[in-house]
């Protein structure tokens, strides 16, 4: 038994639909199982919408506020605003449209960003936007690179708190924010792999003027269509791509030639109509996590213990490094919620493990093993033993 087993075993009965106690689900970095209350949330929505018909929106907004309050607590951010959308790409496009790219056509990012950001910036680069891709592996060098690249032509700095391929934590967020602030350039942090894993305090890190992407599909167990853009309360940006949900309170105002208005509050970067069922599912999960005492400190300890144990099991097998080795050699305190391994056969290994009923994930030469709060040490042992079998068969 490991120290994380007590919580894992206590949580497992609450995930009966996903049968987590009898399955090896190690795609926690991509999609965790949903607790049973998620299914109850969906049923609650169906009942509500049948009763309320077109009055359903007010009820859906109440559920969204439950998630917002949770995020304000997670980020130690009582004054931050949180705009909900179905995915971070929609929010990113709205945010990019608010930048002065005509006069400041330069964006600084890193080589370690997720596909949504990387693909969008590459496409914009084809249209004349200058994108600077700085190496992400060394945080101190990254900080120096950003400092040297910031200039009067820079519209934004866009980078991750935790890199999606390797689980390496960017340890210089506070300093990067300070440099961006000094240059008058907005900073956007992608924290999809950080929320509910590695706390990021807005107040302690002095990030009050920073923008943060948050996604519920991975570690939050909210499922699809529950993403947020955290933005400062005094935000002056005016997105050019904007939907009517960003001015919900002004729908009855007469149309004029005045500049387009935005509501005060959380919805500035919102688009338009969406399906509120996802909010019911996510709000039910949020309240469940609070009841279970899954606080910042509890979750951080659970993931660090689990990933450290996975590393220990892997190191105990004495794998041939030419076949498979660690992709992230940072200490556990600078690592997020999964173990990343590098192998020329990463995708083949993923397929072989899946044939054994083990869910993992591979990106190019990296295979990722992501536990969840309900993952036990026995399950970790089984998956590393299976990995050893698969590698021996190559």
Q: pLDDT tens for residues 124-141?
A: 999 999 999 999 999 999
Same domain membership, residue 206 and residue 126: yes
Confidence of residue 251 (pLDDT cuts 50, 70, 90): confident
End position of a domain, from candidates 286, 309, 325: 286
Asked if 275 and 140 sit in the same domain, the reply is yes
Please report the pLDDT score of residue 310 as a whole number: 98
Is the pLDDT assigned to residue 311 strictly greater than 90? yes
With a pLDDT cut of 90, the percent of the chain lying above it is 90
Same domain, 330 and 224: no
- What are 60-114's pLDDT values in tens digits? 999 999 999 999 999 999 999 999 999 999 999 999 999 999 999 999 999 999 9
Domain holding 343, by residue range, is: 5-33+295-393
> Maximum Cα–Cα distance for the chain, whole Å?
72
Q: Which of 188, 199, 208, 174 is nearest to 78 (CA)?
A: 208
> Which residue from 214, 241, 202, 244 is spatially nearest to 95, judged by alpha carbons?
241
Does 276 share its domain with 327?
no
Q: How many domains does the chain have?
A: 2
Beta-bridge mates of residue 300:
none
Are both 226 and 317 inside the same structural domain?
A: no
| pLDDT score of 282 | 97
Across residues 274-300, what is the average pLDDT?
96
> 142-192 pLDDT, tens per residue?
999 999 999 999 999 999 999 999 999 999 999 999 999 999 999 999 999
What's the pTM value of the predicted model, to 2 decimals? 0.95
Write out pLDDT tens, residues 162-171: 999 999 999 9
Model pLDDT, residue 103: 97
Give the pLDDT mean for 249-261: 81
Residue 282 and residue 69 in contact, taking contact as beta carbons nearer than 8 Å = no
- pLDDT of 249 strictly over 80: no
pLDDT value, residue 91: 97
Given the DSSP bridges, would you call strands 227-231 and 211-215 parallel, antiparallel or unpaired?
antiparallel
Distance between CA 277 and CA 275 in Å, rounded?
Answer: 6
Do 320 and 185 have their domain in common? no
- Quick one: 378 and 318 in the same domain? yes
- The pLDDT of residue 277: 94
Cα(26)–Cα(6) distance, integer angstroms: 19
> For a pLDDT cut of 70, what percent of the chain falls above it?
100
Note the pLDDT of residue 237.
96
Identify whether residues 196 and 139 lie together within a single domain. Answer: yes
* Per-residue model confidence (pLDDT) at position 350: 97
Strand-pairing partners, residue 215, are: 227
Query: What pLDDT score was predicted for residue 252?
Result: 73
CA 327 to each of CA 186, 188, 283, 369: distance values in angstroms, whole numbers, following the listed order: 31, 26, 35, 12
Same domain, 310 and 331: yes
| Distance set, CA 243 to CA 22, 41, 94, 247, 272 (Å) | 45, 27, 9, 8, 5
The pLDDT value given to residue 81? 98
Tens digits of residue pLDDT in 45-59: 999 999 999 898 899
Of 286, 315, 330, the position where a domain reaches its end is 286
**Residue where one domain finishes, among candidates 266, 286, 306:** 286
Is 117 found in the same domain as 233? yes
- Three-state SS string across the chain, please? CCCCHHHHHHHHHHHCCCCHHHCEECECCCCCCCCHHHHHHHHHHHHHHHHHHHHHHHHHHHHHHHHHHHHHHHCCCCCCEEEEECCHHHHHHHHHCCCCCCCCCEEEEECCCCHHHHHHHHHHHHCCCEEEEECCCCHHHHHHHHHHHCCCCEEEEEEECECCCCCEECCCHHHHHHHHHHHCCCEEEECCCCCCCCCCCCCCCCCCCCEEEEECCCCCCCCCCCEEEEECCCCCCCCCCCCHHHHHHHCCCCCCCCCCCCCCCCCCCCCCCCCCHHHHHHHHHHHHHHHCCCCHHHHHHHHHHHHHHHHHHHHCCCCCCCCCEECCCCCHHHECCCEEEECCCHHHHHHHHHHCCEECEEECCEEEEECCCCCCHHHHHHHHHHHHHHHHHC
> Rounded CA gap, 214 and 66, in Å?
15
Q: How confident is the model at residue 10 (pLDDT cuts 50, 70, 90)?
A: very high
């Amino acid at each position: 038994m490991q120290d994380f087993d007590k919580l894992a075993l206590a949580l497992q009965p609450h995930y009966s639909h996903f049968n987590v106690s009898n399955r090896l689900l190690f795609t926690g970095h991509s999609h965790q199982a949903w607790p049973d209350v998620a299914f109850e949330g969906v049923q609650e929505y169906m009942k509500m919408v049948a009763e309320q018909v077109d009055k359903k929106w007010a009820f859906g907004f109440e559920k969204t506020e439950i998630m917002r309050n949770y995020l304000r607590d997670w980020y130690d951010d009582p004054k931050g605003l949180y705009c909900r959308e179905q995915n971070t790409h929609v929010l990113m496009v709205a945010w990019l449209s608010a930048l002065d790219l005509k006069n400041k056509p330069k964006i600084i990012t890193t080589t370690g960003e997720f596909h949504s950001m990387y693909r969008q910036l590459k496409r914009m680069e084809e249209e004349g936007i200058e994108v600077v891709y700085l190496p992400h592996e060394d945080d101190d060098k990254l900080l120096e690179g950003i400092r040297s690249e910031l200039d009067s032509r820079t519209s934004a700095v866009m980078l991750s708190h935790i890199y999606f391929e390797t689980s390496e934590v960017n340890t210089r967020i506070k300093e990067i924010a300070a440099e961006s602030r000094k240059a008058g350039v907005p900073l956007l942090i992608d924290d999809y792999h950080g929320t509910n894993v590695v706390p990021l305090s807005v107040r302690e890190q002095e990030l009050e003027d920073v923008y943060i992407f948050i996604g519920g599909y991975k570690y939050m167990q909210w499922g699809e269509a529950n993403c947020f853009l955290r933005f400062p309360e005094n935000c002056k940006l005016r997105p050019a791509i904007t939907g009517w949900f960003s001015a919900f309170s002004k729908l009855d105002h007469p149309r004029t030639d005045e500049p387009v208005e935005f509501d005060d509050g959380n919805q500035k970067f919102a688009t338009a109509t969406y399906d509120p069922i996802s909010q019911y599912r996510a709000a039910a999960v949020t309240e469940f996590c609070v009841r279970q005492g899954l606080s910042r400190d509890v979750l951080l300890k659970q993931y660090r213990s689990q990933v450290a144990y996975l590393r220990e099991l892997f190191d105990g097998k004495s794998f041939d490094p030419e076949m498979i080795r660690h992709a992230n050699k940072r200490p556990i305190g600078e690592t997020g919620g999964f173990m990343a391994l590098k192998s020329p056969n990463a995708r083949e290994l993923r397929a072989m493990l899946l044939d054994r009923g083990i869910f993992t994930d591979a990106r190019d030469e990296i295979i990722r093993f992501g536990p969840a709060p309900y993952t036990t040490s026995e399950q970790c042992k089984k998956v590393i033993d299976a990995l050893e079998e698969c590698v021996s068969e190559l």
